[in-house]
Amino acid sequence: MEENKKHDLSGQISSPSNYVPPEKITGNSGGEETDKVKKELENFKKELLKKFKFSISLSVIPANASKIFEEDEGLTKEEIERKPLHLMWIIPEDEFKNIPKKIKPELLKLVKESGQNLWVHIKTPVDIWNYGMDSKYEFLDAVGGSFPLHDTGFLGSVRVAVIHKTLVLRKFDKYVASYVIGGSLVRGAAGKDSDVDTFVIIDDTDVKRMSPLQLLERLRGIIYDYIREASALAGVKNILNVQVWLLTDFWDSVKDANPVMFTFIRDGVPLHDRGTFLPWKLLLQRGKIKPSLEAVDKFMKYGEQSDGIVKRRLLDAMVDIYWGVVTPTQALMMLAGNAPPTPKTMVSEVKKEFVDKEKIMSAKDLKFLEKAIKLFKDYEHGKLKEIPGKEIDLFLEESKTYDKNLKEMRKKLEGRLVVHTADQVYDDVFSLLKSIFGNKNKEELAKKFEIELVKKGKLQKRFLGILNDVSKIKQKVKTGKVTQESIDKVKRDAGELVRVLTEYMQRKELMAIEKGTIRIISGDKRVDVVLTDSGDFVLEGNEIRRIANGRISKSDIKEMEKSIADTQDRANLKLSDKSMKALGKIFGNFDIMF
């Protein structure tokens, strides 16, 4: 297949300008000439729509297509020489009977009152589709390429299909056996935003080096890519649905009486055909396309299969509902600070957390959760092989109620978590401050923090603001106006404050320990002596001895740590005479290093 090399695609579309929905047409959308025509026709359009509210569309026929419409409708030589501006007015099929006596006289009156040189072609959708049935594809191209003055969606739908057809033909040329439009648009049931359904049938009879499946996949990829391009050029919101068939596969489906093909042939209108589609349509109308006995048997079997298919889908529906129950329940457990429970332990864990502890779940909701898990377990273990539709309906309604209740539980749980978080943040910070500055009230601790840590440059000034937020958080929570976002921010800031306070306290303790420790040297020995209020501890290798009132005894790390913790001010302790004598008994002569 050779690719036709066309560069300026939009320029090939026979239209004064790219299609733009009427409500979005701007002053420069089609150049000065188009703007002028549009303005001149604006009053005529308003009067026409006011008089005939049922109008489907009104558009300007492309200048290069005027001749074929003049010939088709048999305009006289004098009428052609007047060079009128040709408009196409599409009205509902129901109004066709009123054209001669009611519509046309009123239309001629409006044209005369406008004072413009106009020729209005009155058509119904059936007339438009008859162009395709009569193989007058150039007329359909002209309709799709006409400039819209008013459109309820019909013109735009034809436009996007015509552009896509043009792209496909330029790419595959003679290999396109038929390009057919169908669906609700052709049946007259389409709305302004309805999808546009088209079928492309590609002649694959001379393709030898590629399997049918490979060929079809490649064709679909290219043809589907053109959908985006066609939609962009058409400027409409209507979704273009394209089905691509190989000619041989299509014939096979027709032979097997595929209902899709029958509907397609019956309702479809060709936008392009190489003598393939129209013969099918004629044969179908004459009753000559009939299903074989094998095809009848094949489709009869679908009835036998439907019972099993429905039962399987009902079970699938049950599984979907089950996951819709279990997953949000796991999410709520995670919100409460727990790991998501497995279905096996979910009922017991949920009962413990939400029924017994938090008291936010009712026994009815817990019972439903148990029911959902049991249904799934029975299905998983092969005990549940089918489930009636009535039970699925009930299960679905119960799951909706359960989900609604879960959302209420979440609100309650989040409210409690806010209170709990506020209490925890407050306690963590002020407990740490008490460890540093002693057992004082909140105001005194805050003052100490400011004087001793912030003003002396030991901590950054911003931590004073964080402490202020922490001190007020419990009171703010009581007002009920604290959001989860704001409490999370205070928690993050407080975590940083706790970290720097902990580091400060550890440095202070280390300094205190170092100040209350002396080192003695005796020969080659270097021994540390830790001073405390309840005695001094001698650290020699892994051995710890205690000196109290000049007496020496064995000790251990626990006793030493307790003595250090109970000592009020180790930095001001001194080695007593009794301890000096005891050390002399142990080491003999020694020197002290501070």
Phi and psi for 136 in degrees, rounded to 5?
Answer: -95, 70
Specify which residues 123 forms β-bridges with.
90
Measured CA angle at 213 (ends 209, 214), to 5 deg: 55
What's the rounded mean pLDDT across residues 409-434?
83
3-state helix, strand, coil in the chain (%, to 5): 60, 15, 25
Other Cβ atoms within 10 Å of 237 Cβ, number: 12
pLDDT at 120: 94
pLDDT at 22: 36
β 57-60/591-593 pair status: unpaired
- Three-class HEC string of 65-111: HHHHHHHHHCCCHHHHHCCCEEEEEECCHHHHHHHHHHHHHHHHHHH
- Cα-based torsion angle of the residue sequence 531, 533, 538, 544 in order, rounded to the nearest 10 degrees: -130
128 or 218: whose pLDDT is higher? 128
Q: What is the CA radius of gyration of the chain?
A: 45
* CATH number for the domain formed by residue range(s) 9-285: 3.30.460.10
Q: Tell me how far apart the 2 most distant CA atoms of the chain are, in Å.
A: 142
Residue 394 has pLDDT above 90, yes or no: yes
- % of residues, the chain, pLDDT over 90: 36
The structure tokens 């009132």 sit at 549
Q: Which tokens go with 559?
A: 């006793």
pLDDT tens column, 506-547: 666 555 555 677 888 888 888 888 888 888 988 887 788 999
Residue 196 has pLDDT above 70, yes or no: yes
Q: Please report the sign of the dihedral spanned by the C-alpha atoms of residue 76, residue 77, residue 78, residue 79.
A: positive
CA distance 593 to 209: 96
Domain ranges in the chain are 9-285, 302-387, 416-511, 516-593
53 or 526: whose pLDDT is higher? 53
Measured CA angle at 536 (ends 535, 541), to 5 deg: 140
**Alpha helices, DSSP H only, in 336-388?**
343-350, 363-380
Other Cβ atoms within 10 Å of 27 Cβ, number: 10
Other Cβ atoms within 10 Å of 363 Cβ, number: 9
Q: Which tokens go with 2?
A: 């050779």
In single-letter form, the type of residue at position 394 comes to L
For helices 389-437 and 293-335, what crossing angle results, to 10°?
Answer: 20
pLDDT tens column, 70-97: 998 888 989 899 999 999 999 999 999 9
Instruction: Please choose, from the candidates 484, 438, 444, the residue with its C-alpha nearest in 3D space to the C-alpha of residue 467.
Output: 444
Cβ contact 409:361 at 8 Å: yes
Q: Which tokens go with 543?
A: 């051995």
Q: Determine which helix (DSSP H) or strand (DSSP E) holds 202, and give its type and residue range.
A: strand 196-202
Query: Burial of 479 by CB count in 10 Å (0-12 exposed, 13-18 middle, 19+ buried)?
Result: exposed
Residue 360 has pLDDT above 80, yes or no: yes
Those residues whose C-beta lies under 8 Å from the C-beta of residue 455, and which sit 6 or more positions away, are none
Q: Which tokens go with 108?
A: 């001629």
Other Cβ atoms within 10 Å of 579 Cβ, number: 20
Residue 230 has pLDDT above 60, yes or no: yes
pLDDT at 510: 55
Residue 583 has pLDDT above 50, yes or no: yes
Cβ contact 57:150 at 8 Å: yes
Q: Determine which helix (DSSP H) or strand (DSSP E) holds 538, and give its type and residue range.
A: strand 535-540
Other Cβ atoms within 10 Å of 290 Cβ, number: 10
Q: Determine which helix (DSSP H) or strand (DSSP E) holds 500, and give its type and residue range.
A: helix 484-515
Cβ contact 198:240 at 8 Å: yes
Instruction: Please choose, from the candidates 514, 534, 529, the residue with its C-alpha nearest in 3D space to the C-alpha of residue 592.
Output: 529
The structure tokens 């790419």 sit at 171
- Complete DSSP assignment for 420-483: HHHHHHHHHHHHHHHHHH-S--HHHHHHHIIIIIITTTSS-THHHHHHHHHHHHHHHHHHT---
Phi and psi for 112 in degrees, rounded to 5?
Answer: -65, -45
Instruction: Please choose, from the candidates 408, 133, 150, the residue with its C-alpha nearest in 3D space to the C-alpha of residue 267.
Output: 133
Cβ contact 324:385 at 8 Å: no
- The least confident of 47-56, 263-272, 402-411, 485-494 is 485-494
pLDDT at 214: 81
What's the rounded mean pLDDT across residues 92-106?
92
Specify which residues 89 forms β-bridges with.
58, 122
